Amino acid sequence: DDKKGKGKGKIQVKEDSEDDKKGKGKGKIQVKEDSEKKGQEGVNSGHPPPKKRALDISRHQLLKRCYFFSGDWRTFLPLVLKREPKPKFDIIFTSETIYNTAYYPALHETLHKLLAPDGLVYLATKSHYFGVGGGLHLFETFVEQRGVFSLCHLWDGEEGLQRHVVALRFKQPKIC
């Protein structure tokens, strides 16, 4: 029961081998053991940091099918498309990725090439990104002009800096 802060683990990626430092390693998914006395131990309490243990991925079958990426959209797609078979994803989650209009073409192409035919993209974003010019309205216009995806609002936060969650899916051909 992690709701009260007493849960056993948080998934972390730890890359500390020599191969990982050179970009050749696979990394290790680890679970951080939370202390039962969380909040009672001070930073300078003299206690060692919490122990970490490797997560047994074989017990979490869905994790074998999940991938997590970060990086520049312009170089990302060519790297992913080197894999055989060419990957297609049922669900793509992305957040804070439309802050700069210069990246819209590469992001759109990535979503177009990697989304499965019946897949969904969930995009969390702000209405406007100050200083860089991107935002939801500009991205909606871009998507509409391309004519590949339909976009619908799932959640619109009205307080403070407006935030949104939208879904994209491939446009369906009209039958009438």
pLDDT in tens, the chain (176 residues): 444 444 444 444 444 445 444 444 444 444 444 444 444 444 556 777 777 777 776 778 887 788 888 888 889 899 999 999 999 999 999 999 999 999 999 999 999 999 999 999 999 999 999 888 899 999 999 999 999 999 999 999 988 889 999 999 999 887 87
Q: Are residues 35 and 76 in the same domain?
A: no
Q: Are residues 71 and 156 in the same domain?
A: yes
Quick one: tokens of 170? 């491939």
Q: Are residues 74 and 160 in the same domain?
A: yes
72-89: per-residue pLDDT in tens? 888 989 999 999 999 999
What's the CATH code of the domain at 91? 3.40.50.150
Q: Are residues 147 and 84 in the same domain?
A: yes
Q: Across the strands, what pairs with 125?
A: 164
21 falls within a domain? yes
81-114: per-residue pLDDT in tens? 999 999 999 999 999 999 999 999 999 999 999 9
175 falls within a domain? no
What is residue 81's predicted lDDT score, i.e. its pLDDT?
92
**Backbone region of residue 39 per phi and psi (left: phi > 0; alpha: psi in -120 to 50; beta: other values):** left
What is residue 148's predicted lDDT score, i.e. its pLDDT?
98
Query: In what helix (H) or strand (E) does residue 104 lie, and over which residues does it extend?
Result: helix 104-114
What CA–CA distance (Å, rounded) separates 5 from 43?
Answer: 18
Q: Are residues 85 and 127 in the same domain?
A: yes
**Total domain count, the chain:** 2
Q: Are residues 45 and 74 in the same domain?
A: no
Range of the domain at 87: 67-170
Full-prediction pTM beyond 0.85? no
Q: Which amino acid is at 167?
A: A
Q: Are residues 112 and 148 in the same domain?
A: yes
